[in-house]
Chains A and B, each alone.
Chain A
């Protein structure tokens, strides 16, 4: 049946589009739990895409591309961390600058190295790696278990990060830093070190997400190819209520929202393409409006530390 095939393709596309969001959002979950909101995630994302493309091109394999993408995302997040944690600058403004810088810098490097004409690169792609048995499950099997290896990384990270945050002393300290840094510091936790590491970790994962986008999804790099996915990932963290398991679910949900247009096209419905491009953003806004009232952000999110000069 056409519909069943279309549905299977829709589910497959949902996961494929959801995975980069999931990877970036899972990293950002850890970052935000430490009290840092990294609006510069988009910068790490696009740097990861370019790093992934370049790494795959020069070392000839998609795996090295993913590593290079991760490193690129990490470096961008390290710049962000140096400002907001090291210098205590405003997180929102710094993040916006890092995003701008990431987009501008990757665009310039790409044009300088590969020409401004926009000829698409041909990259070694991150091929799907079907898991035996699991991928044979009807309908959802191929969608979930015939994906690029980075998808499995996202599946594994969600429970692992949940365990890390809620069942280890590391996680307790990290959450305390995000809620009440003064209390954490008095309990002997290094607040700035924790925040810097959490931020850089989030950037590395956003880099992997960017590499996935370039290598498993687009098969090339283009300027601004992340198209705000870093920002959507931040919204996904809110929707997932800062809990890695829910964040994974929310990311896949938004993958589905993005894949919806392909589904309707295969069904022969021809609706304006640009409106579908806007659909995930509108859906995110609607979901934020409906959900956020009932969830609670880390209490010290986006607040600088130390807050002022200690008094006598």
Chain B
């Protein structure tokens, strides 16, 4: 008798338009194991898991669950087959209560004509006792922090009693101590006979918890092995391929001192006790005081949603603090986290997207009061930027939406560096980029320091390794507050301990 797996994906292919996200990927998950899925950004991890969870129909390939071949047309099909998923981007309804979110889609009443909240509440209480996942049930999800939201997501998946639990990058929003709790829970679930599939792009995390690992590269499974059979270098080689090994981009660099020579100049930006009200009853940015000097990189680490975006908007002059003051120079560049929403206009051509930043620049204005735009000069400038920053595009006339994510980010970086005469604010500048594009961004940030009149740089990132590697001074951000990291604590462990302390303060 052949072995029957709780879940087995074979030869999965998936295209999005002209992009081939998966080209024959395999995944075999055993009962009672935590299975780590590794790969660079864009390797197809999320796509593969979405196929398993019924969110995306594959173009080709076989999905077997519990030894039976299945066609999963919807998340509901996947549940009925016994697969539950915790998504990378939360799939909760902010305006509904936690309990209502947990009840959503359960369909436990006949004809769906009742809403048995009391029964569900009892089931959740029981589940919380078993797993130690406690959350208030009557509060609307919008009032919860990211850690609580993640717990709700996991409870939501567990309420469906899945045989296979899939988690996509669950650690991105958690503080280091919370990560350990989560991994303990996942181990317990696996010990109870479930299969747990876990995606993370941090190698050490996967190595710490997984029984078996699968590595994807460019849409293909390149390695599947027991944890004890592989070591970290081997996995890194599998993830990036032999030719493109770039230690920085896979987060495996060593913290061996200061990343670039620091030539501190005059102060270019100052926050003095700046606070930003979040409109919902608390301070998103709370009492932030900060000087940024030319030639230095100030790193701000922290778990997502702790006020980093508000800090970035204030520092880049996009918003003013509710209280306190912010002094920001004119020549400020801003690389926003969400390039498709805040960095680019997808329907505009590349010249217009460059103009988005440079339209105030006197070089590109003419006529009375500078009211006319010199499009020909902007087109030339765009052509120049495309060449200098190696943006792969047919020309300045193509629409930004047609560019790949990495090339879109190159365009944004090119434009904002052009603007950043005095200050550059970068918020998660490498999120969602492939290795080459991430390395490019890191290289540009480092090159800035070599200019004659370098700007000050504020690097805000949830990727602790990125902050540690590139920054001269580091702050952690917890609940809107900035805490300086002393030189002695410049390590993953040190910063993690500071986050934890600030969280409990």
Contact = CB atoms under 8 A, between A and B. Distances in A.
Chains A and B directly touch (beta carbon < 8 Å): yes
Interface of A: 166-173, 175-176, 179-180, 182-190, 296, 299, 309-312
A54 to B, nearest CB: 35
Contacts, number: 91
Contacts of A182: 89, 91
B368 interface: no
Contact of B96 (A176, A186, A188): A176
Contacts of A299: 94-95
A187 B46 CA distance: 17
Can you list the 6 inter-chain pairs with the closest CB atoms, starting with the nearest?
Answer: A187-B105, A188-B76, A186-B91, A312-B21, A169-B112, A188-B105
Contacts of B147: none
Given A167-B115, A170-B113, 13 more contacts: A167-B114, A169-B106, A171-B115, A175-B96, A179-B95, A180-B93, A182-B91, A185-B55, A185-B91, A186-B55, A186-B91, A296-B95, A312-B47
B104 A176 contact: yes
B345 interface: no
Contacts of A179: 93-96
B96 A187 contact: no
A169 to B, nearest CB: 4
B310 interface: no
Nearest to A298: B95
B21 A187 contact: no
A176 B105 CA distance: 10
A170 B110 CA distance: 11
A189 B105 CA distance: 6
A183 B114 contact: no
Contacts of A185: 55, 75, 91
Contacts of A311: 16, 405
A183 B105 CA distance: 10
Contacts of B85: 186
A179 B95 CA distance: 7
B77 to A, nearest CB: 8
Contacts of B19: 312
A188 B79 contact: yes
A187 B91 contact: yes
Nearest to B53: A186
9 contacts: A168-B115, A175-B93, A176-B104, A183-B91, A186-B87, A186-B91, A188-B76, A190-B74, A312-B44
B100 interface: yes
Nearest to A177: B93
Contacts of A166: 115
Nearest to B17: A309
A184 B104 contact: yes
Contacts of B46: 312
Contacts of A167: 114-115
A166 to B, nearest CB: 8
Nearest to A188: B76
B56 interface: yes
Contacts of A170: 112-113
B83 to A, nearest CB: 12
Interface string B43-58: 0101100100001100
B113 A183 contact: no
B11 to A, nearest CB: 18
A169 B109 contact: yes
B154 to A, nearest CB: 14
A184 B85 CA distance: 14
Contact of B112 (A168, A186, A187, A310): A168
Contacts of A168: 109, 112-115
Interface in B366-401: none
Given A310-B56, A312-B19, A183 B93 contact: yes
A169 B104 CA distance: 7
B42 interface: yes
Nearest to A167: B115
A179 B50 CA distance: 22
Contacts of B100: 172
B70 interface: no
Contact of A172 (B75, B103, B156): B103
A168 B109 CA distance: 8
A190 B54 CA distance: 13
A189 B104 contact: yes
Contact of B75 (A175, A176, A187): A187
B107 interface: yes
Contacts of B104: 172-173, 176, 183-184, 187, 189
B16 A310 contact: yes
B92 interface: yes
B91 A309 contact: no
Contacts of A187: 75, 91, 104-105, 156
